[in-house]
Structure 1
């Protein structure tokens, strides 16, 4: 019994504190992307802004300015008709997930969006940037 307690204490003491890893980085990142696209389609600035990384929020410290930037520069995402997930790439064991999203926007324009998803200290992913490519074929990551 003493050995078990000593082993548990040693494990807890020697384990890196505060390190959180996602169980399924790709699924977690995709869930956040879906939630943000849904928030944008529904004009929910609070929700969309809450899913942006601290780095993005430092560039756009107000949800209204952030939402206007997305509306003006990422119309395909803001007005997404339908979308599907393509390939994904893990960087650093999941600290970064690059996720391809094929978007069929209104007016029949098709886009590929590459989402840069960052793992936060609490184990959640946040959107750290989106690169838009005008076409319908997968370009890879």
Structure 2
């Protein structure tokens, strides 16, 4: 993922309610540079990430796993995926809110999203998501998260 560009800030709050998330996403994507048309790939990929965060909030790791890429599924079976997320990404496993900071399509045609995620544990992470198109769907191909300086 190194070297993948991220440009055009798209600040906004996305909550766990899907209709609200889609409305906020549409508004958020419109806040970019005045001349720039938002890339539909970024909007579509963002919906995938928000669907996975919603699944984690419901403890529906089956649904969350379905949104992972084939590469991730080759590395982790379903139970191992759940353990990895719960232990390695507690803020993502149990988020209370997520803010899309920016997103772009890389030269490899992957979508890269930077999202600040606030966890139920009171901590926040900045997460870079890598999404790949599989057929007609965007799937999560990886995430790198680092703690933010603030807390909820």
TM-score, scaled to structure 1? 0.74
Q: Does 1:83 align with 2:83?
A: no
Instruction: Give 1 or 2 for the bigger CA radius of gyration.
Output: 1
- Matches of 2:84 and 2:142 in 1, distance apart? 12
TM-fit CA distance, 1:133: 1.3
Q: Does 1:98 align with 2:123?
A: no
Q: Say which structure is richer in helix.
A: 1
Query: 4+ residue stretches of structure 1 with deviation over 4 A?
Result: none
Q: Counterpart of 1:125? A: 138
TM-fit CA distance, 1:90: 0.8
- Matches of 2:112 and 2:97 in 1, distance apart? 20
Q: Deviation digits for residues 11-66 of structure 1, max 9, x if unmatched?
A: xxxxxxxxxxxx81011100100000011111111111100001000001x21111
Whether the 8 Å contact between 2:69 and 2:140 is mirrored in structure 1 is: yes
**Structural RMSD (CA):** 1.6
Whether the 8 Å contact between 1:116 and 1:128 is mirrored in structure 2 is: yes
Q: Counterpart of 1:115? A: 129
Correspondent of 2:79 among 55, 64, 70: 64
Q: Counterpart of 2:30? A: none
Aligned residue-pair number: 112
Gaps of 5+ in 1: 1-22
